[in-house]
Structure 1
Amino acid sequence: MRGKETPHTLAITVDNEPGALARIVGMFSARGYNIESLTVADISERHDVSRITVVTTGDDHVIEQIIAQLDRLIPVHKVTDLTASGGHVEREMALVKVAGKGDARLEAIRLADIYRARVVDATMESFVFEITGSAEKVDQFVDLMRQIGLVEIGKSGIVAISRGKDAA
């Protein structure tokens, strides 16, 4: 019997070299694991190390397999399951374009204020809001904007970091 599938956020430190991301993604694809969110950033002064943050879903056994397989890849220095290791902070950013006039325009501004979204572009017929927060908060805001006049969405992947003084 399989355990409950839950989302896990993995922090993967890798050599910053051509093909490193392709090898990571290829491992997920070859084994039929889904990537729900993916972000990559250079994290070193010499630009030789990157951090890949992946959100994937699986039971404990699947997550253990993913971590073990990632650990075997050549460009990988370290894999940390932030979900299993305890406290961590996750954030996602989205740009949300909403069109509307009159009351719809006022409602979009009111909801943006409630969700602490910032207006980063405005015309007489549309707004582009920037919202940052948990994935759930971003998704709720987007769902509300659909009812008003959602035109387009651009979302970052989830960025996460462990709490406390130690590095992941």
Structure 2
Amino acid sequence: MKRTIVATVNNTSGVMNRITGLFARRQFNIDSITVGMTENPSVSRMTFVVSVDNQRGLDQVIKQLNKQVDVLKVRDITDDATVERELALVKVVAAPQHRGEISALAEPFRASIIDVGRESITLQVTGDQQKVEALIDLLKPYGIKELARTGITAFKRGTKKSDLETPKYSIIH
């Protein structure tokens, strides 16, 4: 089963290595990982999509993550209402006579053409994983030269008043 885990961590050197090491020691495959600074430059947000065999092992990893000095908060948001997005850059073989077709395919996905070469077009698409996959599948017959994907970044939806009032992390000085 796939689980989406979100962690806020101190933005310091070596944190990602220590955290991914915990997953590796438990033999959990990380399907995707995204890491980036939050609105606070001293805090980073990590989003993992992991494949796990059982909930017990995952619970153990979350407990171990919470014990790490640089970890501020860890949550499994798989079963929560979330907003998820992924970014993909896709370079497609595109002879001049096919560029109009490729552009027409990209339009319903709100994908952007961000680079045009003599024999290729590079598209940018953002959305949920299914949307990204669907566009990639439609572009495959043209020939994909390169593909880069960020992996999933996710937030828990903020629907309750208390979500706005409760801080998501605390800053340690």
- Give the TM bin, normalised by the shorter chain: 0.7 to 0.9
User: Is 1:14–2:12 an aligned residue pair?
Assistant: no
In structure 1, the partner of 2:68 is 73
Alignment partner, residue 55 of structure 2: 60
Q: Give the alignment's TM-score, normalised by structure 2.
A: 0.85
Point out where structure 2 has 5 or more consecutive residues left out of the alignment: 169-173
1:32 aligns with 2:33: no
Aligned to 1:145: 139
Partner of 1:134: 128
How far 1:100 sits from its partner (Å)?
2.1
**Which residues of structure 1 form unaligned runs of 5+?**
1-5
Partners in 2 of 1:71 and 1:134 — Cα distance? 28
What SS class does the counterpart of residue 74 from structure 1 fall into? coil
SS in 1 for 2:35: strand
Give the CA deviation at 1:25. Answer: 0.8
Residues 89-112 of structure 1: CA deviation (Å, up to 9, x unaligned): 100001110112255333211211
- Number of residue-to-residue matches in the alignment: 161
Q: 1:28 is matched by which residue type in structure 2?
A: F
Q: What TM-score do the two structures reach when normalised by structure 1? A: 0.88
Backbone CA RMSD of aligned residues:
1.7
Partner of 1:3: none
1:108 aligns with 2:102: yes
Q: Contact 1:42 / 1:51 at 8 angstroms: preserved in 2?
A: yes
The CA deviation at 1:125 is 2.1
Contact 1:99 1:105 in 2 (8 A): no
Q: Percent identity?
A: 38
Q: Distance in 2 between matches of 1:123 and 1:44?
A: 36
Distance between the aligned counterparts of 1:30 and 1:152, measured in 2? Answer: 32
CA positional deviation for 1:137: 1.1
- Runs ≥4 residues deviating over 6 A: none
User: What whole-Å deviation, never above 9, does each CA across 1:12-32 have from its counterpart, x for those lacking one?
Assistant: 011111111110011111121
1:89 to 83, 101, 105: 83
Q: C-alpha deviations, 1:19-62, integer Å up to 9, x for none? A: 111100111111211111111111143x2211111111223223
Of stretches 94-103 and 22-31 in structure 1, the one that deviates more from structure 2 is 94-103
SS state at 2:12 partner? coil
CA–CA separation in structure 1 for the residues paired with 2:57 and 2:131: 28
1:160 equivalenced with 2:154 (yes/no) = yes
